[in-house]
Amino acid sequence: MTVSLTLDNVSAHYGSTQVLKDLSLSVKAGELVSLLGSSGCGKTTTLRLVAGFLEPSAGSIRLGDRDLTRLPAHQRDIGLVFQNYALFPHLSVRDNVAFGLKQRGVGKAERDAKANAMLERVGLSAFAERMPAALSGGQKQRVALARALVIEPPLLMFDEPLSNLDAKLRVDMRVEIRRLQRANGTTSLYVTHDQEEAFSISDRVAIMNAGRIMQLDTPEVLYQRPANSFVARFVGFENLIEMTVTERNGEMVTATTKAGASLTLSQTVYGAIPDRFILAARPDGLAVRQSGEGIPVTLGIRTYLGRAYQYQCTTSTGDLTGNGPLSELLEPGAQAVLVPVPEQCCILPPEA
Amino acid sequence: MVKRLTPWLLAAPATLLVLAFLILPVGSTLATTFLEPKGWIAPYVTFFNSGVRRTVLYRTIEISVITTVLSVIIGFIAAYVVAHVPGRLKSIMIIAAVFPLLTGVVVRSFAWLILLGKNGILNSALLGLGLISQPLSMLYTEGAVIAAMVYLFVPLMILTLAGVLEGIPKDVLEAATSLGATPFGVFRQVILPLAMPGLIVGAVLVFTGSFTSYATPQLLGGEKQMMMGTLLYQRAMVTFDWVGASTVAAIMVVVTFVIVFLMTRLARRLNPMVA
């Protein structure tokens, strides 16, 4: 049974501070959606609201056709995986996994059999009799995963599950989580502050800031076509250049920067360009040339990246970063121009 | 060489102190009962043949068990509240709990004399409200002794339990809830087993404290509610029956060991991690 999760205009407060503002979110049946953002953005609050550890001050939460909004946490039937594993230290690995089944009134023999089968799936059969204290971090998180999966919940939620593991294990575990989630087709909500983790594991990612979702899209779209400057900065568009259109000539648009540098951009490449916009580019989206049409800059520190040289450039309206070819070594202090590489840049609405 | 000896040298002063002031006196007290010319069993036969003394033993066990159970329940609830209130309020509550410990046992037992006496505060209040027509005699009853002892030992229980309860990670409780455990289920299957080590330490402290108490039963129980502590004093200091007093002491040591052993067994069944 796969169902969808829907949050409708949910607000939440801690005391008098509003931490979520009219948040709406829909996770389709069988989909894995990540909430990605820095600490304090409201991602964990969202997860706690769905889990039932917090009550929303407004809005509704639905899982399939069940209304969760006011349902006590223990009746929500959600599998949760915590950052600190949260295993029961006084129970053996098997009893940890069987805990949820016991609450559901499953008999001892059946729940032990199911727990054993689930431990087999996460490769921990040999550890069933052990106490959690005798396990490594990776093993603990596998037990936690097994414990959440064995109750066959319609929704799985992960709260920074890999943050306490070392880098190598993190990659293994996220493949494992994805494999088990896919195999069961369980709708999942995954909270993390790690962009690589979110992008690699998710069907879609919601980038959050200050209690709002800034953009909810597939990793590909987020990475290549951010919808606003916050998301653009988040996914590495270091250069955000404010521009104003001065002339329109069919598909071609001429726009100037605040400092007066003029660029000609094609709407066939960039899509419709509004009168005021932000040109967003990663360093490899701004090519450093000695002359030609572009944004005039003074070159600063040069770094060797292997595939290109990267230059810290200064302009009268701020610093920009661009990449230059290895064949052309330019010295700090020289004058140059930055030319947007069409496929690597995108047009964003101006910041409010 | 010096390195190997260092731990032993560091442990020596405390070991000698315990040996000289605890093991030797207790050992010699117990030895007294074994050196009886009529055979080592005789003093114990005498003790258990006396109906009065048997009653004192049973009463002491009964009062101590009731005191321990009440202190555990009241202390647990109070400690749970203390562990879950915000920081500033928590310090105030801890200070409030510790405060009675700063005065002596005698002073605190006297407070109960004032409360429960014929012309005491409680009787005056009940008379004033018209709930009773004659003052109740509440002093020199088992209830008075238990009330005073619970009051005496609850702070101890709160202190041992608050730390243990605070140490239970919140996400472990949330994990249990998310897996479908009701609030009572979380308490019984997670909080209680995890609090068990603290609960046992607290219960042992309260039980041994009330089992060996002297001032409180003396002041609030009098002759009528004699306990092992008061009996021991009477044997040794009033009748100068040293063998009898040593017998009482030996029985107290044995009962304490047995009860502590039973409590630890019970704890291990609830939480296998209790050492």
pLDDT digit string (tens) for A55-109?
999 999 999 999 999 999 999 999 999 999 999 999 999 999 999 999 999 999 9
Over residues A119-132, the pLDDT tens digits come to 999 999 999 999 99
Question: What was the pLDDT predicted at B227?
Answer: 92
pLDDT of residue B126 exceeding 60: yes
A74 touching chain B per CB within 8 A: yes
Query: Rounded to the nearest 10 degrees, what angle do helices B105-116 and B142-166 cross at?
Result: 130
* Residues of chain B with a CB closer than 8 angstroms to some CB in chain A: 169, 171-172, 174-183, 185, 189-190, 193-194, 271-273
Tell me what pLDDT residue B130 has.
Answer: 85
Residue B116: which region, alpha, beta or left (left: phi > 0; alpha: psi -120 to 50)?
A: alpha
The reported pLDDT for the residue numbered B99 is 84
User: Which chain B residue lies closest to A92 (C-alpha atoms)?
Assistant: B272
Q: Is the pLDDT of residue B2 over 80?
A: no
Considering only residues B65 and B269, tell me which one the structure prediction assigns the higher pLDDT: B65
Chain-chain contact of B169 with A86 (C-beta, under 8 angstroms): yes
DSSP label of B167: T
State mean pLDDT over A46-52.
96
Same-domain status, A212 and A251:
no
Tell the CATH superfamily of the B43-270 domain. Answer: MetI-like (1.10.3720.10)
- Say which CATH number the domain at A330 has: 2.40.50.140
Q: Delimit the domains of chain B by residue range.
A: 43-270
Q: What's the whole-number average pLDDT of chain B?
A: 89
Do A296 and A241 lie in one domain? The reply is yes
- The confidence band for B33, taking pLDDT boundaries of 50, 70 and 90, is confident
Give B-chain residues touching A90 at CB under 8 angstroms: 190, 193-194, 271-273
- Both A91 and A223 in one domain: the answer is yes
Question: Average of pLDDT values for B164-176?
Answer: 94
Domain co-membership, A311 together with A343? yes
Nearest CA of chain A to the CA of B260: how many Å? 22
pLDDT of residue A300: 93
pLDDT on residue B71: 96
| pLDDT tens figures, A308-340 | 999 999 998 889 999 999 998 899 999 999 999
pLDDT at B266: 83
pLDDT of residue B7: 87
Are residues A247 and A314 part of one domain? yes
Whether residues A219 and A83 share a domain: the answer is yes
Mean pLDDT value across residues B139-157: 92
**A340 and A191 in one domain?**
no
Indicate the residue of A51, A88, A89 with minimum beta-carbon distance to B178: A51
Last residue of a domain, which of A182, A201, A228? A228
- Total domain count, chain A: 2
Range of lowest pLDDT (A130-134, A203-207, B87-91, B172-176): B87-91
Domain finish residue from A208, A228, A248: A228
The mean pLDDT value for B34-45 works out to 82
Look up the ipTM and state it: 0.86
pLDDT, tens digit (0-9, with 9 covering 90-100), for B226-266: 899 999 998 888 898 888 888 999 999 999 999 889 888 88
| Pair (A127, A202) in one structural domain | yes
User: Which residue in this structure is represented by tokens 């894995």?
Assistant: A32
Q: What percent of chain B has pLDDT over 70?
A: 99
The amino acid present at A199, given as its one-letter code, is F
> Which helix (H) or strand (E) covers residue B273, if one does?
none
Contacts 24+ apart (CB under 8 A), B26-32: B26/B249, B26/B253, B29/B246, B29/B249, B29/B250, B30/B246, B30/B249, B30/B250, B30/B253, B32/B242, B32/B243, B32/B246
Taking contacts as CB-CB distances below 8 angstroms, the residues of chain A near B174 are 51, 53, 73, 80, 82, 86
| Among B241, B257, B225, CA closest to B233 | B241
Same-domain pairing of A287 and A214: no
Q: What's the pLDDT at B1? A: 64
Domain boundary (A184, A207, A228) is at: A228
User: Chain-wide mean pLDDT for chain A?
Assistant: 94
Clarify whether residues A223 and A265 are in a common domain: no
d(CA B265, CA B258): 11
Assess whether A241 and A134 both reside in one domain: no
What is the pLDDT confidence band of residue B274, given thresholds at 50, 70 and 90? Answer: low
Q: Does residue A332 share a domain with residue A248?
A: yes
Residue B41 pLDDT class (50, 70, 90 cuts) = confident
Q: Please report the pLDDT score of residue A218 as a whole number.
A: 97
Which domain covers residue A192, as residue numbers? Answer: 5-228
| pLDDT greater than 70 at residue A138 | yes
**Amino acid (1-letter code) at residue B25:** P
